[in-house]
Amino acid sequence: MDWLIIIGAVVSLVGLVGLVTSALKVMKAKRAGLDDAELRARIQKAMVLNMGGLALSVLGLMCVILGISLS
């Protein structure tokens, strides 16, 4: 079950990259000095990436835990 642990770790890292990218996009949008409506629109777009990254991280960690349990 080592392959399950490795796959889970890779999936978790991809999710973590998505979370960091989302945070960087929101920080960039806040620093841009946009009006309220445009800022909300950009944050909503970043939220999609944030939720996807969070879901990938959770799925990857579940695979790691499952792989460790079955080993």
Write out pLDDT tens, residues 20-48: 999 999 999 999 888 999 999 999 999 99
Query: Could you give the percent of the chain with pLDDT greater than 70?
Result: 100
CA angle 40–44–48, rounded 5-degree value: 170
Domain of 40, in residue numbers: 2-70
Split into its structural domains, the chain has a count of: 1
pLDDT at 1 over 90: no
Mean pLDDT, the chain, integer:
94
CA angle 31–49–58, rounded 5-degree value: 125
Which pLDDT score is estimated for 33? 85
